Amino acid sequence: EVQLVESGGGLVQAGGSLRLSCAGSRFTFSNYGGSWVRQAPGKGPEWVSTIKPGGGSSTYYADSVKGRFTISRDNSQNTFYLQMNNLKPEDTAVYYCNADRCPPAGCWSYAWGQGTQVTVSS
């Protein structure tokens, strides 16, 4: 069964940086896109970013993180990453990694991990 394990979360001051990692296993990693979705306390999930499979590795970002976050992948390590710079208190959330099926029309979540907590202090 598909397994995704997030790591790299923690406590950071506003303006700081963190890099989240998502290690995948038990599936053909290179055939899947990857997404990061976050959920703040008491709120619903919010899509953050997506990276498609294939050589182009097209990336997409929510307006709230554009210019601050960068999604990437290393297929040789079966890992997705989310580099988060200039963090703001409103970025505080549990961040979940998703493996996505990505036909040409778009990407759809197939599996997700247990999440990693990111807390940004003011």
Per-residue pLDDT of the chain (122 residues; tens, 9 = 90+): 889 999 999 999 999 999 999 999 988 999 999 999 999 999 999 999 999 998 788 999 999 999 999 999 999 999 999 999 999 999 999 999 999 999 988 889 999 999 999 999 99
Q: For residue 5, what pLDDT is reported? A: 96
Q: How many other C-beta atoms lie within 10 A of the C-beta of residue 97?
A: 27
* Strand arrangement of the beta sheet that strand 18-25 belongs to: 3-7, 18-25, 79-84, 69-74
Q: For residue 59, what pLDDT is reported? A: 96
Apex CA 79: angle with CA 60 and CA 39, to 5°? 55
Q: Give the closest residue to 32 by CA, choosing from 80, 71, 88, 68.
A: 80
Give 94's strand partners.
39, 117
CB-based burial label for 2 (10 Å; 0-12, 13-18, 19+): middle
Q: Which residue has the tokens 């963190």?
A: 18
Q: For residue 106, what pLDDT is reported? A: 85
Q: For residue 88, what pLDDT is reported? A: 98
Q: What is the DSSP letter of 91?
A: G
Q: How far apart are CA 64 and CA 74, in angstroms?
A: 25
Q: Helix, strand or coil for residue 90?
A: helix
